[in-house]
Structure 1
Amino acid sequence: MNGLDGAVIAVAGAGGPAGRAVAARLARAGAQVYGADADGGRLRESMAAAPGARGAVVDLLDPEATRRWAGEIEHEHGRVDGLVHLVGGWRGGKEFGDNSLDDWAFLHDLLVRTVQHTSLAFHEALARSPRGRFVLVSAEAAGKPTAGNAGYAAAKSAAETWTLALADALKETDAAAVVLVVKALVNDAMREARPNAKFAGFTDVADLADEIAGLWSTDATDLNGKRLCLNVP
């Protein structure tokens, strides 16, 4: 079975701008979308924009809560066909001395722990699916860190490495784990707030959503373990 029609897809971090765009795009293509976010207000707004989507307030830093969320989705449908990880955030500065271990602890939880918890919670269901996809959205910084973003770059790099280990676990299945790399993301609210900014090389969240939707129409063997760069030279 190919494409998104009837696919059961979980979106972690569904309350942010990227989550809202992705959930709406997947739902319009016929997927049954289940969004999770720690912010109930933002989550409700995102789910309202995605036809038929359902949301759950989940602390993805709690491994048991994350497993319950995964189990509830699979129990209801008998399968899970995708997990899109969109939990994001940034802390850093301009100089190397601006890096702090407090920022690292924050980013480690946000960008690494949530990937670990969601992948461990969903990987068995994804492996059983004939079209399972685990999608991590990462950043160019993971491969090209700058002086002031050591914590962010290190966390993104760790998340990518963890995802590639999942890809190795899926190599004998019809599922795939894939990393999508962006320089940064931009949305309409950011453009309105900074009308003179060029956002050169940034990926619009709507374009990201289109790229993610296309992963269910691409063979797993062409995706698994790949690091695909969007708007990144």
Structure 2
Amino acid sequence: MSVEYDFEGSVALVTGAAGALGGGVVKAFVDAGATVAAADLVDPDEVDLPDGATYYQGDFTDEAAVSSTVAEVVDDHGGIDSLVNVAGTWRGGSPVDETDVDTFDFLFDVNLKTMFLASKHALPHLRESDADGGGTIVSISARSSLEGGEGDSVYRATKAGVRLVTESIAEENRGTVRANAIMPSVIDTEMNREMMPDADHDSWPTPAELADVILFLCSDGAGVTSGAAVPVYGEA
């Protein structure tokens, strides 16, 4: 059974829009009728966006850049109704005593700081949203954030931080903004297939499948859901 969403008249800001998951989220919102502000760090000529999406280049680890980008989106489109914090990456392979501090700083910047800054600067506008169910934030945590593991402790810690900040935003904005996270494991992307050629790729959820869950959490159908961390790893 397929589900169709109607986001006509709403504005969605998606960070990490140049990646596989971010691109899937952008397409899903556009297909549902939303006006999409697609943000990422890469050059505009490296991003292929569908009609209905506008690209905003900015470094979301830099607060001044985030502030100006959010202000530009609001000026261009009149507000923000949904924020999807997709920007993030993975690094791992080393135990704690062999992990250099540059990797620590990099992962906390890209995975947690971007989510924090985007949420911080979008929240005043999300509180003013007149969308059904109010403004919404969905951020990308990870299944591995639920426990420690070998070789990628810093990544796991950043994604646990995403969950905790999400829960705090939900508590601080009851009745005005709903904040939730999703927890994928391995996503079916070209890069992941190349990294794990012998894995069972059919068990991995696709970016489009994850985008469907994100749209649900941004819709009025999830109007009673806030502060949740939703498993989205399927059979992976």
Scaled by the length of structure 2, the TM-score of the pair is 0.87
Q: Take 1:206 and 1:33, find their aligned partners in 2: how far apart are those partners?
A: 16
CA distance in 2, matches of 1:77, 1:43: 23
In structure 1, the partner of 2:119 is: 119
Letter paired with 1:59: D
Find the counterpart in structure 2 of residue 181 from structure 1.
183
Give the match's secondary structure for 2:7.
Answer: coil
* Matching residue of 1:69: 69
- Residues in 2 aligned to 1:67 and 1:28: alpha-carbon distance in whole angstroms: 28
Q: Which has the larger share of helix?
A: 1
Which runs of no fewer than 5 residues in structure 2 stay unpaired? none
Deviations 1:165-203 (A, max 9, x none): 111122032x21101111122225644776543147532
SS at match of 2:9: coil
Q: Secondary structure at the match of 1:20?
A: helix
1:142 and 2:145 aligned: yes
Q: 1:13-72 deviations in whole A, cap 9, x for unaligned?
A: 101011111101110110000111101157522x1xx22210011111111111111112
Q: Is contact 1:179-1:225 (8 Å) kept?
A: yes
Q: Cα distance 1:30–1:114, how it changes in 2: closer, same or farther (>3 A)?
A: same
Contact persistence 2:137–2:218 (CA under 8 A): no
The aligned residue for residue 7 of structure 2 is 4
Amino acid at match of 1:223: T
Paired with 1:42 and 1:191, the residues of 2 have a C-alpha distance of: 25
Identity in percent: 28
Q: Distance in 2 between matches of 1:99 and 1:11?
A: 31
Deviations 1:53-112 (A, max 9, x none): 100111111111111111122223322111111111111116454433221111011111
Aligned partner of 1:170: which letter? N
Separation in structure 2 between the aligned mates of residue 73 and residue 53 of structure 1, nearest angstrom: 11
Bigger drift between 33-42 and 102-111 goes to 33-42
2:204 is aligned to 202
User: Is the contact between residue 181 and residue 232 of structure 1 (CA under 8 Å) also seen in structure 2?
Assistant: no
90-99 or 58-67, which deviates more: 90-99
Contact 2:205–2:234 (Cα < 8 Å) also in 1: no
Please name the residue that 1:16 is paired with.
19
**Shift in Å, 1:221:** 4.3
Q: Distance in 2 between matches of 1:92 and 1:33?
A: 32
- In 2, Cα distance between equivalents of 1:219 and 1:28: 18
TM-score, normalization by structure 1:
0.88
